[in-house]
Amino acid sequence: MTLDENLVAHVHKNYASYTYDMFMMNMSADLEEIDLFGEWFNILNDKNLYTFEAIRSAAQKPEIDLKRKNGDDIHIINLSSYNYLGFSYHPDVIKAAQDAVGKYGLGASSSPVISGTYKIHQELEQALEKFFALPDRGVSLFTAGYSVNLGVISAFIKPGHQVIMDQASHMSIVEGAKLSGGEVSYFRHNDMAHLEELLKEKCDDFTRVLVCVEGLYSGDGDFGNLKEVVRLAKQYGAFTLIDEAHSALVAGENGRGVSEMQGVLEDVDLYVMTFSKAFGGVGGAVYAKKNIINYINWYAKCRMFSCALDPAVTGGMVKVVELAMEPIGYERRKRVIDNANYFRSLLQGKVDLGVSEGWVVIVNFGSESKTLALNNYLQKTGLDTSIIQFPAVPKNEARIRMFITSEHTHEQLKRAADIVIEAAEKFDFKTN
């Protein structure tokens, strides 16, 4: 079946106003949404506006070279990677990964429950248990951070149970809750009064209730109110899942996340971490009481029916945890926070920083219609960021999202800030 010519013409005329969500639905049997997306994709490439999927030529360092889809080579300051502590390319981490792959081979070749658990996996579990240092707690490893929330929530929650989550929660939490078959409710972002209303309504002596929040929300750049979330959950007999994807190894005196920073680590029931952020690898884990971990190992289907974490990454992660407990870990944690504060100070009063307060710096620019041209301008001017728009954030609340690392220099951050301010003037989102 051929595409309706009017639809094709509309895509060509209005390509700049199209957003990701417009190609997600189709009630008919044909492939209209796929073909329309293909038309849009080709238009962006033809107009040299496709800034995504640019090829990196080396590790995710503060400055790198990109090759765009159209073949353009660009040198950029890298604020699009969440390699917060620079551990992905630390020589000791690379050496540990090389040693592990030399000993165990490339892949685990089996589910962790069958024959895919190697000694190196046990070493990573033990390293994390030592790092968090709470009694009677264990670790379950997953091959993707996304899979942790998907598997943990769907194993822990059953039909008839309740999941209450912050409306800014990551899609992995949303999909894990939906997969569980439990009833799902949302409270307004960081609104504790609204959370308490839902807890009063949903909690009783017969219903399991899980409250899901994040340590650092990467879409807004602000911290979750974990202290109050945990207090309310305990008051009403609910359990808590804290996703520390963007805060594990960075927040807190010892890098144990916002849970440590706000003094509630030992009261968190399910602590989720992702190895692709400050750890610098890929995969993730959940940290919880050992009886819960044993259950999750068997009943998290995306873990049970997936190959175990590969040995090279696992070996690298063991070394990362060791480094996080050494002086280098403390130094880099302090530096990433200092760098973020410095960068924010350069932008303060010139652009809308929203509520961002951590090492994820947000600049709001509003209309999605600016996204393609703005992202193209930033890249060509020498800055790579992570722009997000609807449906990842509310309509007309599109924003530039920038990840600050310990390895950025003040000179690099100053150049990046200058580019953002220049873009704000050009695209009309400067605040003064």
Tens of pLDDT along 166-214? 999 999 999 999 999 999 999 999 999 999 999 999 999 899 999 999 9
Q: Assess whether 248 and 157 both reside in one domain.
A: yes
pLDDT band for 20, please (50, 70, 90 cuts): confident
Measured CA to CA, the distance from residue 382 to residue 132 in angstroms comes to: 39
Does residue 344 fall inside a structural domain?
yes
Q: Give pTM, 2 decimals.
A: 0.94
Question: What's the total number of domains in the chain?
Answer: 2
Q: Assess whether 204 and 252 both reside in one domain.
A: yes
Q: What is the pLDDT of residue 29?
A: 86
Q: Assess whether 215 and 304 both reside in one domain.
A: yes
Q: Give me the percent of the chain exceeding a pLDDT of 70.
A: 99
Q: Assess whether 259 and 116 both reside in one domain.
A: yes
Q: Assess whether 275 and 151 both reside in one domain.
A: yes
Residue 17: count of CB within 10 angstroms of its CB:
12
Single-letter amino acid code for the residue at 156: F
Distances (CA, A) of 31 to 44, 172, 319, 328, 341: 20, 26, 47, 52, 48
Does residue 76 fall inside a structural domain?
yes
Mean pLDDT value across the chain: 94
Tens of pLDDT along 46-67? 888 888 889 998 999 999 999 9
Tens of pLDDT along 375-406? 999 999 999 999 998 888 888 889 999 999 99
Q: Assess whether 391 and 254 both reside in one domain.
A: no
- Cβ atoms of 216 and 251 within 8 Å: the answer is yes
Domain CATH number, residue 202: 3.40.640.10
Using CA atoms in the order 365, 368, 373, 378, what is the torsion angle rounded to 10 degrees? 40
- Cβ atoms of 280 and 93 within 8 Å: the answer is yes
Tens of pLDDT along 308-328? 999 999 999 999 999 999 999
Q: Assess whether 263 and 377 both reside in one domain.
A: no
Does residue 17 fall inside a structural domain?
no
- Indicate the range of 11-15, 66-70, 104-108, 197-201 predicted with least confidence: 11-15
pLDDT at 18 over 80: no
Which tokens belong to 299? 């009943």
Q: Assess whether 193 and 246 both reside in one domain.
A: yes
Q: What is the pLDDT of residue 270?
A: 98
Overall average pLDDT of the 402-427 stretch: 98
φ, ψ dihedrals at 113, nearest 5°: -80, -25
Beta pairing, strands 137-142 & 162-166: unpaired
Does residue 186 fall inside a structural domain?
yes
Does residue 132 fall inside a structural domain?
yes
Instruction: State the DSSP string of 179-230.
Output: HHTSEEEEE-TT-HHHHHHHHHHH--TT--EEEEEESEETTTTEE--HHHHH
Q: What is the pLDDT of residue 353?
A: 96
- Cβ atoms of 318 and 183 within 8 Å: the answer is no
The residue from 324, 351, 380 where one domain ends is: 324
- Cβ atoms of 406 and 86 within 8 Å: the answer is yes
Pick from 236, 301, 247, 243: nearest CA to 269: 243
Pick from 210, 289, 276, 213: nearest CA to 248: 276
pLDDT at 133 over 70: yes
- Cβ atoms of 387 and 371 within 8 Å: the answer is yes
Which string of b and e fits 131-142 if b means at least 16 CB within 10 Å? bbeeeebbbbbb
User: 3-state class of 397 per DSSP?
Assistant: coil
Distances (CA, A) of 21 to 57, 249, 270, 291, 392: 30, 34, 31, 41, 9
- Indicate the range of 276-280, 396-400, 411-415 predicted with least confidence: 396-400
**Which residues face 138 on adjacent strands?**
288
Q: Assess whether 72 and 159 both reside in one domain.
A: no
Higher model confidence: residue 98 or residue 20?
98
Measured CA to CA, the distance from residue 104 to residue 96 in angstroms comes to: 12
| Element (DSSP H or E) covering residue 174 | helix 171-180
Q: Assess whether 171 and 273 both reside in one domain.
A: yes
Does residue 22 fall inside a structural domain?
no
Overall average pLDDT of the 58-81 stretch: 93
Does residue 40 fall inside a structural domain?
no
The residue from 324, 356, 384 where one domain ends is: 324
- Cβ atoms of 145 and 274 within 8 Å: the answer is yes
Q: What is the pLDDT of residue 3?
A: 64
CA angle 343, 347, 349 (to 5 degrees): 145
* Helix, strand, coil % over all residues of the chain, rounded to 5: 45, 20, 40
**Which residues face 214 on adjacent strands?**
243
Containing structural domain, residue 361:
55-87+329-426
Q: Assess whether 132 and 264 both reside in one domain.
A: yes
Using CA atoms in the order 41, 42, 44, 48, what is the torsion angle rounded to 10 degrees? 140
The residue from 304, 324, 344 where one domain ends is: 324
pLDDT band for 2, please (50, 70, 90 cuts): low
Q: Assess whether 263 and 339 both reside in one domain.
A: no
Domain CATH number, residue 350: 3.90.1150.10
pLDDT band for 1, please (50, 70, 90 cuts): very low
Which tokens belong to 31? 């492939």
Does residue 289 fall inside a structural domain?
yes
